[in-house]
Structure 1
Amino acid sequence: MAKLPLVAIVGRPNVGKSTLFNRLVGRKLALVDDRPGVTRDRREGDATLLGLDFRVIDTAGYEDEDPVTLPGRMRTQTMAAVREADAALFLIDARAGLTPLDEEIARWLRSETTPVILAANKAEGKAGESGVLESWALGLGEPIPMSAEHGEGVVDLFEHLRPYIERDGDDDADEGDEEGPLKLAIVGRPNAGKSTLINRILSQDRLITGPEAGITRDSIAIDWVWTAPDGQVRPVRLIDTAGMRKKAKVEDKLEKLSVADARRAVDFAEVVVLLLDGTRGLEAQDLRIADNVLKEGRALVIAINKWDVAEGQSALFNGIKAALEEGLSQARGVPLLTVSGKTGKGLDQLLAVAFETRETWSKRVSTGQLNRWFEEAIERNPPPAPSGRRIKLRYITQVSTRPPSFVIFGTRVDQLPDSYLRYLVNGMRKELGFGAVPVRLTARAARNPFDT
């Protein structure tokens, strides 16, 4: 596993270093108090800032004391942290203004080879404006006005940190636990053959089956190990669910509970296989189930079951494929396979596709690659200019995976039409390899990057 870049937070005591550290790591790992000198040892944590992953070091407040004293030894630890780091984040208190100690720290940082980013903390409101302006005198470039406590200024911090800690290729690995079992839920209308299919996969009569619809009531999870045709052994957690009928037809209380349980099973799954009945083709309820799976952000695979007894196979397959392209326009190209729970046809292929789909669903694109694609997409098709005022899109970042989720930052993004967002999503699917898994894309004004 690649070593994450290091960012050291430095500054005099009580400027908000630990508050910023806690915000970046997403937990209150560092003690925070109004009294100076609470932090003594270096504390490290894994941080994420709008898709950038790095290690952050919270250092003790830098004080001008004899090296043999406790503050002096703390300063030595701070200096060592900066020399190890890929970037140093120098925090000052904008409300207190510049102090002689701030100036001394700045002189020391200028003498080091580690890149320095200057941030004026506690800059919310008018009280911090003069301190932000004063900090230009430190000779460390443009200061970032921010509030670690309230989460303001993180977009500008992201922009300044990115050149130093972004590493193409390091952060495009799957976030998912590849050693963990594939959580695979089988869903569909009643009597589509879900339990029979799972029994065939397991090579045992693990689940009760029969011609009656609605035998399965509870969602049943079964841990199993799949030996792929190439000999690779991969763990799977198979989840059988109750058949999902059209909501208006579900009157029995027990069936309502069963369907609700099946929906919860979808929430906990990674990949969902929608099983169609090959003797009945595609029905409106199948499309509703598929749409719900995609809305929940799960990766979807569609399999036509009972293929061994299906009539007019070529016309049936092409007809279902065309209907899916039209009915699931938000995720064209969802894998469509043919299987038979009775004979075992296509089951290895189904499992292989499910693992491949999870890999795509868990994919992270490096920020550099993502923004290069973004710039080219905008150049090919610039956003519109409502009322003659141009919408300016600044950059894009991937904020999470499973499903892949992205945020665009810019100005007047509230006027960006849905059609343009669809253009970008379709481009990501085609050019960044996200295929037909759910992709979530939102746009935010640069000054208010996320709710805190």
Structure 2
Amino acid sequence: MTFTVAIIGRPNVGKSTLFNRLVGQKIAIVDDTPGVTRDRRPGEARIGDLYFTIIDTAGLENADPDSLEGRMRAQTEMAIEEADVSLFLIDARVGVTPVDEHFAELLRRVGKPVVLVANKAEGKLGENGVLEAYALGLGEPVALSAEHGEGMADLFAALLPFEREEEEGDVEDDDFDAPLPIDPETGEEIEAPLDLTRPIKVAIVGRPNAGKSTLINTMLGEDRLLVGPEAGITRDSISVDWTWNDRRIKLFDTAGMRKKARVETKLEKLSVGDSLRAIRFAEVVVLMLDVTIPFEKQDLQIADLVAREGRALVIAFNKWDLVEDRQAKMAELREMAERLLPQVRGVPLVPLSGLTGSGIDKLMSELLKVYATWNRRIPTAALNRWLASVLEHHPPPAVSGRRVKLRYMTQPKARPPTFVAFCSRPEALPDAYTRYLLNGIRETFKLNAVPLRLQLRKGENPFEHKAKKR
């Protein structure tokens, strides 16, 4: 097993910058505004050949426990308890402050190992702060610059004693475009079984204050994510691991996405960009709607974005415990979904309460069904039998007096299901007929709730390059 390191310090000392440096990607949002990070965020870090889990945390502040800052501090204290060692950051250019002294004492009382780090130590401005750090009584400080990458060798040496031997694990295979297996009796392709050992990546998205973080906390059975009555608490996309009925799930909590015209600050733009990245890397997206105000324009735009990105979609209606006539409300929601979201026809609609936990089992059941559909590969023989039937009853229309000939269809990839049709004149086939084919594939092969792709290609003429004989 690898060891776990928590980055601790007051606001704006460079914790998220160091986190990004160690994981090798710009994952955590970095801004000059103090208090950008609010939740604790894990990542896989590396220095040389030293691998470990790193946790980015909110800045430590003295605040009332019931305030937002107080709840942020509680999340940081949980990270300290969870970690094997803490990196306590100070700003070398500012020097040791009374707040640094207060939290250095807190770390000593916890009794876990602490590595003192004087960040922003590049140049002469940071020299005095490095020397002042000795007064905290946490040992020799590691002078580094997270922004410029200076001092990483010293940090490597400080963390090396905490390394533990890592157990060998299974290597995940991301290749989902391998050919389908062949039935030895018939010689035809058969549908491959779904890999049940891989964790499913699920992003929870929606408008601000839809209850996304509350739902994930209820799923986990702990206060893992920061929640409260304030809108827009979540800023970073936070991933957490969860197991439901022996299925491994990686949940991504995301920042609420408002209308583009209402996004004014740079920080909110970064948060929305992080949410969009979570959608692109997810496999299934759960769109959380407030059942009291469902299908706002922003909800429809998010659902359309998910479909354009090719992700599987489930719509969850939160605060279902506030609904009185549930049967009539559900019928109304189904009618609205069919009318407003034709691009994801048949999308599952799940009523739930993130606060009480009712409906979570139904949500996960629908989620697994949609995930299986999103991964389906239809055998080529079955596709072409269907295509032959379609062409017999409803052939392509003639364009400019010439009929478009559809010769062959196959599915080269899944995630989402993508089909390729070979025809004589791809550019002439009307969009309406393409939609007709996609709707037929969806209905015949039960591919509801996932986006489908159809690419048209021109079949090669075997006589095109041969000289004419006289």
Which residue number in structure 1 is paired with residue 188 of structure 2?
A: 168
Out of 192, 217, 231, the residue aligned to residue 199 of structure 1 is: 217
Note the C-alpha offset of 1:52: 5.0
Structure 1 position 312, deviation (Å): 4.2
**What letter is aligned with 1:337?**
V
Query: Which residue among 279, 287, 291 is the counterpart of 2:300?
Result: 287
The count of corresponding residues between Structure 1 and Structure 2 is 286
Q: Are residues 242 and 163 of structure 1, via their aligned partners in 2, closer, same or farther at CA, if it must alter by over 3 Å?
A: closer
The 1-side partners of 2:294 and 2:236 are apart by 26
> Would the aligned equivalents of 1:393 and 1:413 in 2 still touch at CA under 8 Å?
no
Q: CA deviation at 1:53?
A: 5.3
SS of equivalent residue, structure 2 residue 320:
coil
What corresponds to 1:412 in structure 2?
A: 425
Deviation (angstroms), 1:339: 0.5
Superposed, which structure 2 residues align to 1:88-107 within 5 Å?
none
Name 1:183's counterpart in structure 2.
201
Q: Contact 2:180 / 2:189 at 8 angstroms: preserved in 1?
A: no
Assess if the C-alpha contact under 8 Å between 2:180 and 2:192 holds in 1. no
Instruction: Quote the residue 2:233 is aligned against.
Output: 215
Which stretches of structure 1, 4 residues or more, deviate above 4 A after TM superposition?
Answer: 50-54, 162-166
Confirm or deny that 1:276 pairs with 2:289.
yes
Residues 61-82 of structure 1 show CA distances to partners (whole Å, capped at 9, x for unaligned) of: xxxxxxxxxxxxxxxxxxxxxx
* Cα pair 1:404 1:440 within 8 Å, conserved: yes
Cα distance in 1 between the residues matched to 2:344 and 2:264: 32
Say which SS state the counterpart of residue 341 (structure 1) adopts.
coil
SS at match of 1:308: helix
Cα RMSD of the aligned pairs, angstroms, is 2.3
Question: What CA distance in whole angstroms lies between the structure 2 residues aligned with 1:177 and 1:221?
Answer: 21
Corresponding position: 1:316 with 2:329: yes
Partner of 1:395: 408
User: Contact (CA 8 Å) 2:200, 2:248: kept in 1 or not?
Assistant: yes
Instruction: Show the 5 A alignment for 1:4-83.
Output: none
Of residues 336, 342, 348, the one that matches 2:361 is 348
User: Which residue number in structure 1 is paired with residue 343 of structure 2?
Assistant: 330
Given that residues 196 and 247 in structure 2 are in contact (C-alpha distance below 8 angstroms), is that contact kept between their aligned partners in structure 1? no
SS at match of 2:305: helix
Give 2:313's aligned residue: 300
Find the aligned partners of 2:454 and 2:187 in 1 and give their Cα distance.
23
Counterparts of 2:401 and 2:178, CA distance in 1: 33
- Give the match for residue 62 of structure 1: none
Shift of 1:51: 8.1
Structure 1 CA distance, aligned partners of 2:187 and 2:234? Answer: 49
Deviation of 1:177 (Å): 3.6
Report the CA distance between 1:218 and its aligned residue: 0.4
Gaps of 5+ in 1: 1-47, 55-161, 228-232
> What percent identity do the matched residue pairs reach?
54
Amino acid corresponding to residue 187 of structure 1 in structure 2: V
SS in 2 for 1:275: strand
The 1:388/1:177 distance shift into structure 2, 3 A limit, reads same
Equivalent residue letter for 1:430: E
Provide the TM-score with structure 2 as the length reference: 0.58
Deviates more, 1:314-323 or 1:251-260: 314-323
Q: Distance in 2 between matches of 1:316 and 1:433?
A: 26
Q: Deviations over 1:255-283 (max 9, x none)?
A: 11111100100111110000001122221
Cα deviation for residue 413 of structure 1 reads 2.0
2:258 aligns with 245
Please point out which of 385, 391, 413 is paired with 1:378: 391
For 1:53 and 1:316, the matched residues in 2 are separated by 43
Q: Deviation digits for residues 274-317 of structure 1, max 9, x if unmatched?
A: 00011222211100000000000000000100100135433432
SS in 2 for 1:282: coil
| C-alpha distance after superposition, 1:10-32 (max 9, x if no partner) | xxxxxxxxxxxxxxxxxxxxxxx
Cα deviation for residue 332 of structure 1 reads: 1.3
